Structure 1
Amino acid sequence: MNLALRSVDVVVPCHNEAEALPRLHRRLAAALDGRAWRLIAVDDGSTDGTDRVIRDLAARDTRVLGIQLSRNFGHQAALSAGLAEVRADGAVLMDADGQDPPEVIPQMFELWEQGFQVVYGVRARRKASPILDVCYRVYYHLLRRISDVKPPLHSGDFCLLDAAVIRALRAYPERKKYWRGLRTLAGFRQIGLPYDRPARREGTTKYGPLRLVALAADGVFNMSFFPLRLIAFLGAAMALGSFVLALAVLGWYFSDLAIFGMRPRQVGGWTSLVVLSVFLSGVQFLSLGLIGEYIARMYLETKQRPEYHIASRTDQAAAASPTDARAPTS
């Protein structure tokens, strides 16, 4: 299909983005001028009037579809709700804060036309605090090392997905999704597109330290069994170390050599016994905690709870008030 004839749905999760959304809409309209596109704005339980902004946009622009979730389900669930509404030849996933530049999307289209089915943004430079930037870099390198698949470095949710990829992603049944990891897991022809990620201009970030840690944990536990393998490795290492220590203690006991002026029969052993017991108890509790994280996720999956609930939908017809409604022309 010719590039100019391809349609695209832009999926934008919104949580308290009333200030940023109108500007994003204007930038999208400018960047995608002359192309068939639609904005799917998913209101993820906002409390700042984001739902009213979406209704206003939908009333003025037939290309806007608003999805209001019944409460705040989280960024990844909002992406799921948006992807479920995609009907176009492809979809762009991006944030509402403007840090994912709409002006990059035409470059994604060009790579799409070349046959790539996934075009993901790579953050060449980002405006973030030095400490946070270091944390991001360490996390992405660590995730790539321990993951069963190899997600690209410095790549978030900003991407273009072909319809074939979207159909494949919809087949994943898990409720606790980590979309950027599943995108890599799905395969297909993928390519990265470097871009500069500017600082947020409107509003405040919704990803505080705790949410960032939770998202990082989703990446580790959803995409890797490394923590479980680490437990097995540590267990084997401790067993080997204990065996070597036991041989050394037995050798010292039977040789009755004096070490630092002390002989084995003069050592009571209570202190070392307590220290060793406490250490092993700590390792056991840590191991149980890691195993419990996987069990909790399996429990969540077996319940098959809905990932989200839609409270209402807003397009131009729904956005218009009764007094604004016009009778159809014959």
Structure 2
Amino acid sequence: MKRISIMTACYNEEENIAEVYAQVKAVFDVKLPEYHYEHLFIDNASEDTTVEILRGIAANDPNVKVIVNARNFGHIRSPFHGLMQCSGDAVISIVADLQDPPEMIIDFVRKWEEGYKIVIAVKEQSYEAQWMFKLREAYYNLLHKLSEVEIFKGFTGFGLYDKKIIDFMREFDDPYPFFRGLIAEIGFKAAKIPYTQPARPRGISKNNFYTLYDMGILGIINNSKVPLRIATLLGFLLSFVSFMTAIIYTVVKLFNWNSMPLGIAPLIIGSSFMFGIVLFFLGIIGEYIGAIYTQILKRPRVFESERINFKDEIQ
């Protein structure tokens, strides 16, 4: 019997974690009894009762494995580390807030049986706030256009990955990986299953502006050099325009020395505009340098404080 690994990353999800477990278990018990499965939870040092709930579940179900991180290692490193600890013939990533419908596991597995190494869920609609959905959609379109590899639009990471794909991802020596970019970089043909993302039933999202920005900018700098090229080209263009403006202004001033005012307002406006452009692209360059710095440090993605229901499996 083949084994499917389900990986759920969580942080302060005491309201939803038991329901996620129950729904995944029901899928395999009722719809996919021909498969063994494991459900691996990686907890990012939750401050509520999430870990206690997981300990109780794991004590009664040997299919459940739990990793508890020593501290909160963020929304990038912890889920990827969890995926790398899975040992199934295929691995499915599913979030803890029930916005990834567990019943789609059946569709993923059927497509995998057809021979696809990657099966992804593509979000076409969502019950989240429409302005947020449109903002995410605009970001996916931008990332798709800027990236040097094809980044799937509407793909959040929810999907199935064959063991071969997981093994490929283990070869990436990246301490801060952009998961969706790695999937695109590997390049295998993916089966796409459209879905409507349900609303979070309980609790509030643990994402904030910083985490969303972090993930968004990571996707761009890891998969595109276009911002750097824009900075270079815009620098040449503005330098040329500034040079031509200086020549024209000097000639006009020479012929109208007494009647042409100095024009403080244009100087202030022009200087402010130029400073804004310079600071913006300094920030872009800083993001790339920060990514390089992270790579050079080569720190482990997470440090674990506890493992539950792991026997002699290698980390």
- Taking structure 1 as the reference length, the TM-score comes to 0.87
Q: Deviations over 1:236-272 (max 9, x none)?
A: 2112322332443355356x3xxxxxx3553353624
Specify which of 287, 290, 299 is matched with residue 293 of structure 1.
287
Is the deviation greater in 271-280 or in 184-193?
271-280
1:28 counterpart = 2:52 = no
Alignment of 1:122-137 (within 5 A): 122-137=122-137
Alignment partner, residue 93 of structure 2: 93
What does 1:73-222 correspond to in 2, within 5 Å? 73-222=73-222
Contact kept in structure 2, 1:20 and 1:96, CA below 8 Å? yes
* Structure-1 separation of matches of 2:272 and 2:208: 35
Out of 8, 11, 32, the residue aligned to residue 7 of structure 2 is 11
Partner of 1:259: none
More deviation, 188-197/238-247 = 238-247
Number of residue pairs aligned between Structure 1 and Structure 2: 306
The answer (yes or no) to whether the contact 2:69–2:306 under 8 Å persists in 1 is: yes
Q: Distance in 2 between matches of 1:8 and 1:302?
A: 34
Counterpart-to-counterpart distance in 2, 1:282 and 1:195: 41
Amino acid aligned to 2:278: Q
SS across alignment from 2:87: coil
What's the TM-score once normalised by structure 2's chain length? 0.91
Q: Distance in 1 between matches of 2:195 and 2:127?
A: 12
Q: Deviations over 1:131-152 (max 9, x none)?
A: 1111111111111111121211
- 1:100-156 CA distance string (max 9 Å, x none): 011001111111111111101111221111211111111111111111212111110
Which consecutive unaligned segments of at least 5 residues does structure 2 have?
Answer: none
CA RMSD of aligned residues (A): 1.8
Contact 1:62 1:316 in 2 (8 A): no
Q: Distance in 1 between matches of 2:195 and 2:275?
A: 48
Match of 1:308 in 2: 302
Equivalent-residue separation in structure 2 for 1:274 and 1:129 (angstroms)? 41
1:15, distance to aligned residue in structure 2 (A): 0.4
What CA deviation, in whole Å up to 9, does each residue of 1:57-116 have, x standing for no partner? 111111000000011111221212212211111100110111101100111111111111
Q: Is the 8 A contact 2:84 2:166 kept in 1?
A: no
Aligned-partner SS, 2:148: coil
Alignment pair present for 1:282 and 2:270: no
What stretches of structure 1 of length at least 5 have no aligned partner? 257-262, 318-330
SS of the residue 2:103 aligns to:
helix
**Highest CA radius of gyration, 1 or 2?**
1
Secondary structure at 1:156 match in 2? strand
Matches of 2:307 and 2:85, distance apart in 1: 11
C-alpha distance 72-279 of structure 1, shift in aligned 2 (>3 A): same
Q: Aligned AA for 2:67?
A: I
Q: Which secondary structure does the structure 2 equivalent of 1:173 belong to? A: coil
Are the counterparts in 2 of residues 61 and 316 from structure 1 also a CA contact under 8 Å? Answer: no
Task: Work out whether residues 147 and 220 of structure 2, in 8 Å CA contact, stay in contact via their aligned partners in 1.
Answer: yes
- Per-residue CA deviations over 1:143-190 (Å, capped at 9, x if unaligned) read 111112121111101010001110111111121211112111111121
Distance, in Å, in 1 between the alignment partners of 2:269 and 2:195 is 53
Task: Name the counterpart of 2:49.
Answer: 49
